[in-house]
Structure 1
Amino acid sequence: MTHEEYVLGVDSGGSGLRAALHVARGARRSEPVRSVGLTRSADLTRSAGPVRTGPRGVDAGHFLEHLLPMARALLEQAGGGRITAVAIGAAGLATLGDDLRAELPSALEQALGVRRTALAADAVTAYMGALGDRPGAVVAAGTGMIAIGTDLTAWRRADGWGHLLGDCGGGAWIGRAGLEAAMRAHDGRRGGSKALLARATERFGPVTGLPGQLYPRTDRPAALASFAPDVAGCAPEDPVAHGVLRDAARHIAEAAAAVCPRAEPGEVSLTGGLFKLGPPLLAPLYEELAEQLPYARRVPAAGDPLDGALRIAVDIAADRLRLPHDARMLCVHGPGDR
């Protein structure tokens, strides 16, 4: 049985939790988090399921019901040891995180002996995974879309307001715009696309049944986003689909420009499943980024939000976190931090 000390990174989103360990001692700032002592448990991640949301926001008790068995299983797979620091990136933390902030630090200290806990919005862990602790902006896009930026003194965010109020350019936005074009073609209105109508019929059946299929669904954003690849598939030959993706690119670049610091040369990175749509979205997006952010350098994301959580955990264990603390975006709990 080893007495190794570890840190734990956690990524919590709509599909559940992912968690990973990393060796705490001896980790250098420049060292990639995947290079030393990393243990993942893909099976536990897939089986976790999403965390409930209750009257106080994200349910801390339910969160712990998922996390503690995962943490203990990871330690067992690693051959034993102890967890000294935990960093959690949670969707909804900024607006729905009161219960997590009130309960998790003390509960993790009591259950696992954790001395320091960082609670971060998932956009922050996406930022850390993509750029580390360098100034710049990160766009995280999948079903939704949010941009976050920092000059290392404060955070700025743009969009991420959900599919009813924003997430402009995200997967649900693209899918909804594509389905609207399909409905226009069905009705014979201007702005319709016969190609998108054919794709919508293939995917959902007769489009007159779409309202009954989509409106009652609790996962409506994901259902809308499922049509985004069809829009991308039509874009090379269909001007309406191409226009949808060009508008999406403009919205994404506008969000990045709103948060990227201008005072010093910064970097811009893209992360998330939306960008797997490939050239039909990326080509106009790169053009928009070059036009709207000429002062920033586009760089590939170094890692994902789980990597970002691990990096934060390593840094708080060594008391060297450079990212700005914020009551809702990133807070650290432990000796000297309470």
Structure 2
Amino acid sequence: MSTPSVRWVVGVDSGGSGLRVALADAAGAGAPEVVDARTPVRTGPAGIDARHLLELMLPMVRALFVRTGHGASNTGAGAEVAAVAVGAAGMATLGGQLRAELPGALATELGVRRLALAADAVTAYAGALGQRPGAVVAAGTGVIALGTDLAGWRRADGWGHLLGDCGSGAWIGRAGLEAALRAHDGRRGGSTALLSAAESLWGPVTGLPGQLYPRTDRPAVLASFAPHVARCAIEGDPVAEEVLGRAAGHLVEAAAAVCPPAQQGVTRGAGVDVALTGGLFAMGDPLLVPVREQMAAQLPAARLVPAVGDPLAGAVSIAAALADDSLRLPTDPALLHVPLAAPAERGR
């Protein structure tokens, strides 16, 4: 008697710190196998480099098949890649090459039947809330909020550290450094605690512009000061507390902007689940306490719920939904692109 084939799905999370790939049973049996590479996918004039993504991803997928005992690829006995979901930072604006090249390449290399190409905000949403309506605020160095009523997506912020990302790690770090410089100058709104923290990291603050402005990773450098703002707030510095209070206000404003529209006569956010995900919230109560206060003020009828999983888990869940035709999240050319059929299926 033959053993039924295992139908596998692959989830991919591509970001600024590298690439993570998960291999999971499409039926949800067992925990996914995960491997990561610390090399970020290159971005060039044509956007996210599809060939570089494939160079990194394909050996990782094959290594996962070997780990599970199903051979080096989907051609191994009892193994089949039913669907792949790729979540990538910058997909909305830089994903043209991926949309053009990945369907054919993955059909050829892995025999993939179905593919989803998603912005990392979408995989963050799917990881946090699954396929139900709601709103998710994903915050780390930057911040973006995404909401859906399952008919379409609503997005707020995600505009980068010069034009937005309000309440993000970069925003908090910059606000903290501004307060440090105000203290140095003797202007109102300064914090000697934050000034001391900044100088312990970078030396005299008069040298900060020369250290910061030439760098290409300014958002990450600014965000690296956010934990020090949180520490000063824990120690009772009122300026640091005020910075985190303003950050919380911005984050909840973004959540309110993307909550599914209220019906006439119904309070906005009524019954809506709102989840927070991303590394910024690891700073804990210094930020989460004012976030809860702002939720009560701005979205009193919404429910703040814990995120179930991370963006990689979200990519796996999208791939699993594709595999069994149960995808409920709305497709969108920039946010969640699902080709009508992968080349391997066309003509069947």
Q: Into which bin does the TM-score normalised by the smaller protein fall?
A: over 0.9
Q: Is the 8 A contact 1:48 1:66 kept in 2?
A: no
Q: Quick check: which has more Rg, 1 or 2?
A: 2
State how far apart, in whole Å, the 1-side matches of 2:19 and 2:287 are.
Answer: 29
The aligned counterpart of 1:280 is: 286
Asked whether 1:49 is paired with 2:39, we answer: yes
In the alignment, residue 274 of structure 1 is paired with which amino acid? L
Deviation at 1:66, TM superposition (A): 1.0
Q: Residues 164-183 of structure 1: matches in 2 within 5 Å?
A: 164-183=162-181
Tell me the CA shift for residue 3 of structure 1.
4.7
Which of 300, 310, 313 does residue 304 from structure 1 map onto?
Answer: 310
Give the match's secondary structure for 1:82. Answer: strand
- d(CA) in 1 for partners of 2:304, 2:34: 30
1:161 alignment partner in structure 2: 159
Q: Describe the SS at the equivalent of 1:328.
A: coil
Report the Cα distance in structure 1 between the residues aligned to 2:32 and 2:172, rounded to whole angstroms: 36
Provide, for residues 125-150 of structure 1, a one-character-per-residue CA deviation record: whole Å limited to 9, x for no partner: 00000000111100000000110000
Matched-pair contact (CA < 8 Å) for 1:75–1:82: no
- 1:22 aligned onto 2:28: no
- Equivalent residue, structure 1, for 2:75: none
* Letter paired with 1:67: M
User: Cα deviations across residues 249-273 of structure 1 (Å, max 9, x unaligned)?
Assistant: 0000000000011346210000000
Letter in 2 for 1:88: V
CA RMSD of aligned residues (A): 1.6
Distance change in 2, residues 1:200/1:37 (3 Å): closer
Q: Which of residues 198, 201, 210 in structure 1 aligns to 2:199? A: 201
Alpha-carbon shift at residue 18 of structure 1 (Å): 0.5
Q: Which residue of 2 aligns with 1:188?
A: 186
* Among 95, 101, 104, the residue aligned to 2:102: 104
Equivalent in the alignment of 1:242: 241
SS state at 1:222 partner: helix
1:289 corresponds in structure 2 to 295
Greater CA drift, 159-168 or 58-67: 58-67
Contact 1:143–1:274 (CA under 8 A) maintained in structure 2: yes
In the alignment, the residues of structure 2 paired with residue 321 and residue 208 of structure 1 have an alpha-carbon distance, to the nearest angstrom, of 54
Equivalent position of 1:253 in the other structure: 252
**Is the 8 Å Cα contact of residues 268 and 297 (structure 1) preserved in structure 2?**
yes
Unaligned runs of 5+ in 1: 28-34
- After superposition, give the CA deviation of every residue in 1:95-124 in whole Å (9 maximum; x if it has no partner): 111111111111111111111110011000
Q: How far does residue 217 in structure 1 lie from its aligned partner after superposition?
A: 1.1
Q: Which runs of 5+ in 2 are unaligned?
A: 71-78, 264-269
Deviations 1:8-55 (A, max 9, x none): 00011100111111112x34xxxxxxx6252112xxx1x341111111
- Residue of structure 1 aligned with 2:65, choices 66, 75, 96: 75
Paired with 1:278 and 1:118, the residues of 2 have a C-alpha distance of 33
Matched, 1:215 2:213: yes
CA distance in 2, matches of 1:247, 1:88: 34
How many Å apart are 1:188 and its aligned residue? 1.1
Q: How many residues align?
A: 326
What is the TM-score when the length of structure 1 is the normalising length? 0.93
AA partner of residue 30 (structure 2): V
TM-score (norm 2): 0.90
Which region of structure 1 is more displaced relative to structure 2, 63-72 or 161-170?
63-72
CA distance in 1, matches of 2:179, 2:155: 30
Letter in 2 for 1:55: P
Aligned counterparts, 1:224-235, within 5 A? 224-235=222-233
Structure 2 residue aligned with 1:30: none
Q: What is the alpha-carbon distance in structure 1 between the residues aligned to residue 39 and residue 80 of structure 2?
A: 25
Letter in 1 for 2:191: S
Q: What corresponds to 2:334 in structure 1?
A: 328
Identify the range of structure 1 (230-239 vs 305-314) with the bigger mean alpha-carbon deviation. 230-239
Q: Is the 8 A contact 1:182 1:192 kept in 2?
A: yes
What amino acid maps onto 1:283 in structure 2?
A: V
Q: Does 1:38 find its partner at 2:39? A: no
Query: Can you list the C-alpha shifts for 1:166-193, whole angstroms capped at 9, x where unaligned?
Result: 0000000000000011111111111111
Q: Is the 8 A contact 1:118 1:312 kept in 2?
A: yes
Residue type matched to 1:7 in 2? V
Deviation per CA, 1:264-316: give whole Å up to 9, x if none.
Answer: 62100000000011111111111101211122111000000000000000000
Alignment check: 8 A CA contact 1:168 1:252 kept: yes
Contact 1:139–1:270 under 8 Å retained in 2: yes
Sequence identity of aligned pairs in percent? 66
The whole-number CA distance in structure 2 between the counterparts of 1:38 and 1:249 is 34
CA distance in 1, matches of 2:299, 2:98: 36
- SS of the equivalent of 1:201 reads helix
Aligned residue identity for 2:256 = A
Matched residue SS, 1:299: strand
Any conservation in 2 of the 1:150–1:259 contact (CA below 8 Å)? yes
Displacement over 3 Å in runs of 4+? none
Amino acid at match of 2:242: G
Following superposition, the deviation at residue 2 of structure 1 comes to: 9.4
User: How much has 1:4 moved relative to structure 2?
Assistant: 2.5
1:82 CA drift (Å): 2.9
Q: Specify the alignment match of 1:10 in structure 2.
A: 12
- Aligned pair partner of 2:56 in 60, 66, 79: 66
SS at structure 1 position matched to 2:206: helix
AA aligned to 2:52 is: H
